Structure 1
């Protein structure tokens, strides 16, 4: 068996996490190998909601427009509705992020990007194309069999990866300095290197059914939504099955998600040519004349699991995406979190591999992203219960179709039982409304780690008032996401977001009138250390003008102060005012944030 193939970076898995990591590393000039045991990118839509904060990551490397072109966008693609069939009586509806009046303004105020429906099957090719054009070899039909930490002849840590080519049926080996496990919920990397997980029992099963059915003639404004929940307790084809119909391509391609009684997969052991599946789809639609073509079945399991640590510091192995956190799709943060894991990790790998930072910077990936993943896993599983309560109130858990109809009938009557069921529906829909207006849970991902400098803060993080799932905290407190504000290029009338000035593999320093010495300090530090560091003045006569006064309201420092932003566009440090030794202070901050004391 040959072992002469070497690479600095090997990524196992090219779903949203692995493909994004390859793209972000490639953008920063790094090259490597990414493999997938599958023969191609995702064939089914799977994860679909894509939020502004994940689009910000794509925007940074110049592929936001490419992703936007293949996405579905429009306010009607963000809501949910519940009905007796797709064309039947509607039980209720919740309006999503850009459709509900309460979240329209906040969405536009906190990001230069927007929400869209970007299914995994559309996202992955965009990422793969970019990564393959920027330094990463992508190998499909290639499976990781085993991985062993080892050392080079000069004592450097590396991995010996045993791979198997599913096309040639031949084994081969790769030696790599860094290993990234982005290989999903059954991660071979996590198992091989004994990553530990906090897991709660669940195991409820479901099945995604990709269908082709032209429903154009059934569409009108009142039926526009991204998710159509069909609750019909007297289903004749499959009794007690809850169905969700989701559009993939208007209005001819759909995903039918089914949940069987008692957490079962009602299509277990079936094939796509079983006529009962198409019959069930027609019953869900509510029109027996519809021509339904079943394209694919994909079974899945509801999980509640998160890795205790995302980094094996003894070997330089990392896990990200579904390999690190497993949860139901409630809140729609699955692929978003995968992409953001990769975005957080990529710049740290860049700086360490280029000798600009010490190994301690890599440890901050776990300190920052593991709490985000753990929080999402808890929230998604808790949110799933609200959906189950609606199912029960409308008779879906009844022991028979007849009993289910009785439960549903109570919903219409002025009786204690009817009042109770209506109250359950109202309360559950209120909770689910939080789910599709959850700007807070998506935006408020603040970090506390060695890569955040807090020594100059006079108080702890500001208290977030209101519902943390819905309400957004905009602040420059270190560890927070950089506030978005549109700035005008002086004399040109061209607007750019603060997010467009930051990122791109570099630190960014914002200052105002009276703070010009910060730019001199930044230039001196960049020249002395080689650390990519840009500095921009915001104010009359400086680089940019705060035409809407948004930056003034959000910066939380004096004009002569500064805000230092990391390459992932999170605030690293801020100075509320001008100080005497700008250069020395800036160097001290960067030395801590980048663990540069290890380089001495």
Structure 2
């Protein structure tokens, strides 16, 4: 056996959204471990922004570990910041606007129906410290300037699975040390050392366009009346003499003096290749985007990146206790705003399963459900986000950005105000292109409709397959308690106190939740007996007249999918594990059978 300096049960490589949230959720479930990151600190550049409430990650998962209020305090809130606008510059002529997410009249009501949270703009810079602080307060140490430089998988005789000897470089002391760990989690981004070293295979489409993020300070509050507030200010100027062909947007990081300019170059190039924060041309480009040459601009950082279209064929090797998550497993453009949200969902799905196995509450096969459930989600997001990005070409063509020269681009965009047949055609083309963007801006379904099928979901009691979703699955949502679905959000009143609480607030927190109705006492007794006998945490809540909670708007009655004497069993990650339409002849025997199946307890 190789020598080592430190022995752990859990080692997480990476402390970005995926790694930090995994440490937090494992800590929530009572496990201990170490997270390392080669960076000196948490992210400073904004990177991910929109933590969509309909993505059910940052908002709802922070809510589950008691951090939602602090996240909201740090976030930019309000519907004016949710739209996408297209203009000649920040203050120039506007060509169109698309109401997005919480501002769209088509999604506002649906958002209120499916989540207790709100859409917010919360940058990666602000969410990472929250997660790391929580993790460090819950048994997880996090070390920065600490890099994984080697991994050796070994099969010791005294273990029932693989262990890993990891060579770690301490960037402060400039020396290496070795860690022996039973679990290894690769949350180390798109160039994952874990994924590359341990042979994870990827389905990849190469040749994506390049782009560049420019973080900057510019006080432009006086240029932004409420009518110009938006989440993304896309700047369209086909006759631009400086950086011709460049298209991009300005997004506010902090009101109203810190911004990020995201730019794509002509032909898929990085428009700022070779530039530094001191390059006067870069300042000139920012001023051109703003539309005011007198603005003082300070460039803080330049962060080039490339559009990726890659997803791992498998996210885990549970027999070896190695897992990849976040960008280490799926790489895609920021379309739909679900990048960090999906990273955190991976962690939320995985953490409780590892905890249950480690506590002896579940068999090791439960860990196989992580890949079965999350790999299809990652693959779908990679595919759909790249498809949506490519659809932008229709918009750029309508606005003259695809013209072969600045002169031709000016001619095309001037057609928008022409009375000619060409003007009619140009306006119609722009209208269709902007209407097409509504799929992205109203994309509740791509996040909500993440239905799980695995051995951690019990389907044998269902009378048939999941009902077919009507409409566009990217836009429309299917609210259901069909096993594998998200727990429906419903506002309930506490019958003895008269205040509202969401079904989501009753579920989660590392425990199973059983919802019952009038006549559900046998299920309640069954859950209590099973909890006492097995130590599986199960919380039981009655919804109905005379029970724990009342259903004043009758929403739970409409969504529960079972009779009053039936039940709905929800996993710790707030996904439905199983439901019973009616009361069973032997509720305890039935519920124990389901839990044994879902948790692979036959292996214990």
Q: Give the TM-score range, shorter chain.
A: over 0.9
The answer for the alignment partner of 1:118 in structure 2 is 122
Equivalent pair of 2:246/2:271 in contact (CA under 8 Å): yes
1:81-125 Cα distance to aligned partner (Å, 9 max, x none): 000111011011000122121211110111111110011111111
Q: Give RMSD over aligned pairs.
A: 1.2
The answer for the alignment partner of 2:301 in structure 1 is 296
Matched, 1:452 2:476: no
Q: 1:387 & 1:425 partners in 2: Cα distance?
A: 11
Q: 2:44 & 2:60 partners in 1: Cα distance?
A: 25
Distance verdict in 2 for CA 1:461–1:299, change over 3 Å: same
Q: 2:301 & 2:584 partners in 1: Cα distance?
A: 63
1:65-84 equivalences under 5 Å are 65-84=69-88
Matched, 1:319 2:320: no
The Cα shift of 1:153 comes to 4.9
2:153 to 149, 154, 172: 149
Q: 1:399 & 1:556 partners in 2: Cα distance?
A: 57
Question: SS of the counterpart of 1:579?
Answer: coil
Spell out structure 1 runs of 4+ moving beyond 4 A: none
After alignment, is 371-380 or 194-203 more displaced?
194-203
Q: 1:431 & 1:547 partners in 2: Cα distance?
A: 39
Q: 2:243 & 2:171 partners in 1: Cα distance?
A: 38
Equivalent pair of 1:2/1:172 in contact (CA under 8 Å): no
Equivalent pair of 1:202/1:304 in contact (CA under 8 Å): no
Matched, 1:474 2:479: yes
1:372-521 equivalences under 5 Å are 372-521=377-526
Matched, 1:63 2:52: no
Q: 1:532 & 1:336 partners in 2: Cα distance?
A: 27
Equivalent pair of 1:3/1:175 in contact (CA under 8 Å): yes
Q: 1:592 & 1:511 partners in 2: Cα distance?
A: 21
The answer for the alignment partner of 1:29 in structure 2 is 30
Question: SS of the counterpart of 2:391?
Answer: helix
Question: SS of the counterpart of 1:262?
Answer: helix
Q: 1:451 & 1:571 partners in 2: Cα distance?
A: 10
The Cα shift of 1:228 comes to 0.4
Matched, 1:103 2:107: yes
The answer for the alignment partner of 1:131 in structure 2 is 135
1:483-562 equivalences under 5 Å are 483-562=488-567
1:327-380 Cα distance to aligned partner (Å, 9 max, x none): 111111111101111000000000011111111110000010011111111110
Equivalent pair of 2:365/2:600 in contact (CA under 8 Å): yes
Equivalent pair of 2:19/2:35 in contact (CA under 8 Å): yes
Mind listing any 5+ residue stretches in structure 1 that lack a counterpart? none
The answer for the alignment partner of 2:362 in structure 1 is 357
Matched, 1:346 2:318: no
Equivalent pair of 1:13/1:184 in contact (CA under 8 Å): yes
Q: 1:458 & 1:344 partners in 2: Cα distance?
A: 27
Q: 1:543 & 1:237 partners in 2: Cα distance?
A: 66
Q: 1:152 & 1:71 partners in 2: Cα distance?
A: 48
Q: 1:414 & 1:384 partners in 2: Cα distance?
A: 32
Q: 1:64 & 1:309 partners in 2: Cα distance?
A: 32
Equivalent pair of 2:153/2:165 in contact (CA under 8 Å): yes
State the TM-score, normalized to the length of structure 1: 0.98
Mind listing any 5+ residue stretches in structure 2 that lack a counterpart? none
Question: SS of the counterpart of 1:98?
Answer: helix
Q: 1:147 & 1:245 partners in 2: Cα distance?
A: 41
Equivalent pair of 2:47/2:123 in contact (CA under 8 Å): yes
The answer for the alignment partner of 2:6 in structure 1 is 5
State the TM-score, normalized to the length of structure 2: 0.97
1:48-80 Cα distance to aligned partner (Å, 9 max, x none): 111221111111111111111111111111110
